[in-house]
A and B are shown apart, each in its own frame.
Chain A
Amino acid sequence: MTTTLSVRDLAVTYDNGPPAVSGYSVDLMAGTLTVILGRNGAGKTSTLRGITGFLAHESGSVRGTIALDGVVVRRPNPLRLSRLGVGLVAERDKVFANMSVYDQMRLVMSARQDMDEIFGFFPRLRERRDVRAGLLSGGERQMLATALVLLRHPRVLLVDELSLGLAPGMVRELMGYLRRLADERGLTILAADQAVHASLRVADCVQIMDSGSLVASGPLDTLDIDAVLDAYLGRA
């Protein structure tokens, strides 16, 4: 198995404050699904945003090395990472609220059959194709956000809080989609989430973050996951 995305010593700070993330490293193998678990404020979102880089007007600054297929990405920023095949499904503002499902898929797709394939993957989006995204349900928005990134044919998919505000059944369904994306499309996925059980059900590898640092990381079957979760997520 080859490493698709490699991150070394990632550090993220905001407005010269204390580091939100420090010393984060990971090697993501092709076609695997890695989940980052942690409490609120553990640094999960900052880690994903640190990998994509920040926009000029955003107050985050990043240090560390990002490499794709062994090639170091110079001066990473969201546009460059997106064009290199790293897609981010963000936690907030992840769809174009005032555009129809169809129009925003048209914006990013390169071929008509891609859209048909996505509709095959997320049939509910086909039913809602003429609805403006701001009027979709939370789960439908997550599907659309994922679909928009997938239409760009990413090699690496970063997913932030897929479960946010969704019912457990919907979370399981969406996590199942992520598993299928890794298995059927060979996508390399790094997903940050708080839905521990749903995430562990589909993950190959797990990372636990606490106070901006990794406290455990590795393939699911090599970790004493119960002990780690008890220690850092306060699971009884």
Chain B
Amino acid sequence: MSAVAQAVEGSIVTGSIYGLVGAGFALLFRAAKVLSFAQGGFMLLGAFIFYSLEEHNGQPFLLAVLITMTVVAAFSGLVYLVVFARVAAREAFATSVATIGLAGVLQAVVSIKYGTAPLTLSGVVSPHAYRFLSAVVPTADIVAVGIAALVAGALFVVLRYTPLGLRMTAVADNASLSVHLGVSAARVAALAWALAGGAAALAGIAFSLRSAVDPVGVADVGLLAFPAIILGGLDSVGGAFVGGILLAGVQNAVQVSIGTGWLDLVSFALMLAFLYFRPTGLFGKAEAVRL
């Protein structure tokens, strides 16, 4: 019983982190029809900025989180305006490819500055663990899930109830028409990039609190968020969180039943199966077409 409860706890926490990265993917896909491979890079950047603020500057936890999120969000929005706006105007596909380059640059910059060995965050959150339904729940896990819940709630409100959410949907649907109707597609896309960057930075922090500031581990999570968003639906921010938790659940089951070596195989096979049988994922919408 306790093993099952622990597996469920692990799935929720890991899935929340997948969801944080995946929410950024979904946002960018909604607002710009771009599949960004740079989310892992922004996650890494966030993790290391947070590490620097905590370990070198001794900033209080909440302040360090806010500064990291703001800096990475601003950087992400700026990268869009300076580099990607012109590429994106031509072809969303070209932007998606260009994000691979951006991810490479971010990873290289971080490894030049901090090296490639995992770094430990010492004493940032309490080492105390709670017991809940026979599962052991460390404080870091509660913080990770809390961050994910806050981001999910905030994005839900922004997308569902604010003019910005409506504009993002419109720009993703038809950017040219949006401009002809007075909506600045470039500004909307830059804001989407900023929000996605901020979410990725928070994912980097959440991941690092649980294990270590590990370039390889962070990049892996960035990649594993892909199956999560395909499960949830490419354009569904809520789906990213549900897909993330489902994927983490499957991974936990695989790990317990057949071994860690099968994790990636099953994860990506699941993604391919969804792409084949249900390409819109669990919550994505099919295109509305009437001939």
User: Which residues of A are interface residues toward B (Cβ below 8 A)?
Assistant: 52, 55-57, 78-79, 82-83, 87-88, 90, 93-99, 103-104, 106-108, 132-137, 148-149, 152
Chain B nearest CB from A99 CB (Å) reads 6
Q: Check if A108 sits within 8 Å of B290, measured CB to CB.
A: no
Q: Check if B288 sits within 8 Å of A82, measured CB to CB.
A: no
Chain A nearest CB from B145 CB (Å) reads 32
B184 and chain A: residue at smallest CB distance: A79
Q: Specify which of A95, A107, A134 is in contact with B289 (CB 8 Å cutoff).
A: A134
Known contacts A57-B89, A134-B290, A152-B182; can you find 15 more A-B pairs with CB under 8 A? A52-B180, A55-B89, A56-B89, A57-B90, A82-B179, A82-B181, A83-B182, A90-B177, A96-B169, A97-B288, A99-B170, A107-B183, A136-B290, A137-B290, A149-B181
Interface extent on B, as a size class?
20 to 34
Q: How far is the CA of A99 from the CA of B177 in the complex (A)?
A: 13
Q: Check if A97 sits within 8 Å of B86, measured CB to CB.
A: no
- Decide: A107 near B288, CB < 8 A? Known: A55-B89, A90-B177: no
B interface SS class? helix
Q: Check if B288 sits within 8 Å of A98, measured CB to CB.
A: yes
- Decide: A104 near B290, CB < 8 A? Known: A55-B179, A78-B180, A88-B180: no
Chain B nearest CB from A128 CB (Å) reads 12
Q: Check if A152 sits within 8 Å of B181, measured CB to CB.
A: yes
Contacts of B180 in A (CB 8 A): 52, 78, 82, 87-88, 90
Q: Check if B170 sits within 8 Å of A107, measured CB to CB.
A: yes
Contacts of B184 in A (CB 8 A): 79
Q: Which 10 A-B pairs have the closest CB atoms?
A: A134-B288, A132-B288, A57-B89, A96-B173, A82-B182, A57-B90, A135-B290, A78-B180, A78-B179, A98-B173
Q: Which of B145-169 contact A (CB under 8 A)?
A: 163, 166-167, 169
Chain B nearest CB from A60 CB (Å) reads 12
Contacts of A83 in B (CB 8 A): 182
Contacts of B278 in A (CB 8 A): none
Q: Chain A CB within 10 Å — which of B89, B90, B176, B288 has the most?
A: B288
Q: Check if A98 sits within 8 Å of B182, measured CB to CB.
A: no
B116 located at the interface, meaning its Cβ lies under 8 Å from any Cβ of chain A in the complex: no
Contacts of B122 in A (CB 8 A): none
Q: Specify which of B89, B173, B179, B290 is in contact with A99 (CB 8 Å cutoff).
A: B173
8 pairs from A and B in contact (CB 8 Å cutoff): A78-B179, A90-B177, A96-B177, A97-B173, A98-B173, A133-B288, A134-B287, A134-B288
Q: How far is the CA of A151 from the CA of B180 in the complex (A)?
A: 13
Chain B nearest CB from A62 CB (Å) reads 15
B260 located at the interface, meaning its Cβ lies under 8 Å from any Cβ of chain A in the complex: no
Contacts of A132 in B (CB 8 A): 288
A84 and chain B: residue at smallest CB distance: B182
Contacts of B289 in A (CB 8 A): 97, 134-135
Q: Check if A99 sits within 8 Å of B169, measured CB to CB.
A: yes
Q: How far is the CA of A28 from the CA of B289 in the complex (A)?
A: 37
A49 and chain B: residue at smallest CB distance: B180
Q: How far is the CA of A93 from the CA of B176 in the complex (A)?
A: 9
B2 located at the interface, meaning its Cβ lies under 8 Å from any Cβ of chain A in the complex: no
Q: How far is the CA of A57 from the CA of B169 in the complex (A)?
A: 21
- Decide: A103 near B166, CB < 8 A? Known: A55-B179, A93-B177, A108-B182: yes
Contacts of B181 in A (CB 8 A): 82, 87, 107-108, 148-149, 152
Q: How far is the CA of A99 from the CA of B285 in the complex (A)?
A: 11
A56 and chain B: residue at smallest CB distance: B89
Q: Specify which of A88, A97, A106, A137 is in contact with B287 (CB 8 Å cutoff).
A: A97
Contacts of B174 in A (CB 8 A): 93, 95-97
Q: Check if B170 sits within 8 Å of A96, measured CB to CB.
A: yes
Q: How far is the CA of A56 from the CA of B89 in the complex (A)?
A: 7
